Amino acid sequence: MKLSIVKIGGNLIEKETALEQVLENFSKIEGPKILVHGGGKMATQMAEKLGVETKMVDGRRITDQETLNIITMVYGGLVNKTIVAKLQAKNCNALGLSGADLNSIKSVKRPVKTHDFGFVGDITNVNTNMFSLLLNNTITPVCCAISHDGDGQLFNTNADTIASEIAIALANEFEAELYYCFEKKGVLRSIEDEDSVITDINTEIYQALIKENIIADGMLPKLHNCFHALEKNVHKVYIGSVDMLGNEKEIRTTITL
């Protein structure tokens, strides 16, 4: 049975019309599905309002206790419940989850190498039995970018990684397809040209694009997650806009080994 795992980025979440479009398309996907979301930009905006400084290293957020509190409020509360309510309005029976809920995603604190990222978690376990139970009862999990360690500690966790690890964990039971949805039509050859979509990327092309500095910054870890998922038996991986959901003919980037 096909399972669709869709991750949506912050730019889609904070714009009302974009969020409505992605949830409309997502709700129409047939069969079992899972939605994964972050909300980094909204967390940054909330931190500014509360006078909490946002610290970033190499594009990744340093998560101290105050920042973790804000992330928990924004990701697990405002964003997650807004998405769940909107999906219910579209007859999609959704259940909002953090990694602590139903023990869905466990992690350990990221080890300190060059930087201490604070309360940031690296995933150690996905509760496949729980996800299977929900999916087989036509319940759609909506997972925010928070995990836990089993000892009462929450962790900020990369949403792209959560999506790929869920897909990997369920790949033995389902034909898992992973969709990374953001505001572009796919991976672009030129950031200035919205239509310069690279429609197919395999390992060889990926390495060449890195050397040419076409793939850099935030796209690097995203593509790392894509290839990692494919190596672990995830069936298909795509990167593109909301229009690719439920539309096989839509332009997008297909990732293969």
| Of the candidates 161, 141, 144, 148, the residue with the CA atom closest to the CA atom of residue 232 | 161
Give the pairing type, strands 140-144 and 146-148. unpaired
Residue 206 in any domain: the answer is: no
pLDDT given at position 149:
98
pLDDT > 90? residue 180: yes
Q: How many residues does the chain have?
A: 257
Q: Is 154 helix (H, G, I), strand (E, B) or coil?
A: strand
Whether 26 has a pLDDT exceeding 90, the answer reads: yes
φ, ψ at 84 (rounded to 5°): -60, -45
Domain annotation covers residue 248: no
Q: What is the pLDDT of residues 182-211, one digit of tens each?
A: 989 999 998 889 899 999 999 999 999 999
> Does residue 214 lie in a domain region?
no
The verdict on residue 127 lying in a domain is yes
- 109-165: per-residue pLDDT in tens? 999 988 899 999 999 999 999 999 999 999 999 999 999 999 999 999 999 999 999
pLDDT, residue 40, reads 85
- The answer to whether residue 240 sits within a structural domain is no
Q: How many domains are contained in the chain?
A: 1
Contact status, residue 89 vs residue 64, Cβ threshold 8 Å: no
In angstroms, the CA 36 to CA 145 distance is: 7
pLDDT attached to residue 14: 87
Q: Which of 255, 23, 68 is nearest to 160 (CA)?
A: 255
Is 40 annotated in some ligand binding site?
A: yes
Q: What are phi and psi of 30, to 5 degrees?
A: -80, 150
Domain-embedded: residue 72:
yes
CATH classification at residue 11 = 3.40.1160.10
pLDDT over 90 (residue 248):
no
- What is the CA angle 91-95-96, rounded to 5? 125
Contacts of 159 (CB under 8 A, 6+ apart): 7, 9, 36, 37, 38, 144, 145
Residue span of the structural domain in which 82 resides: 2-183
Helices first, then strands: H and E counts in the chain: 9, 14
Tell me whether residue 61 is annotated as binding: yes
CA torsion angle 117 110 12 133 (round to 10): -150
State the average pLDDT over residues 235-248: 92
Of the candidates 202, 209, 195, 158, which has an alpha carbon nearest to the alpha carbon of residue 180? 158
Per-residue confidence at 169, pLDDT binned at 50, 70, 90?
A: very high
Range with lowest mean pLDDT among 2-11, 180-189, 210-219: 210-219
CA atoms within 13 A on the CB side of 85: 6
Predicted TM-score of the model (pTM): 0.95
In a domain, 254, yes or no: no
Task: With respect to residue 217, please indicate whether it lies within any of the assigned structural domains.
Answer: no
Beta carbons of 86 and 70 less than 8 angstroms apart = no
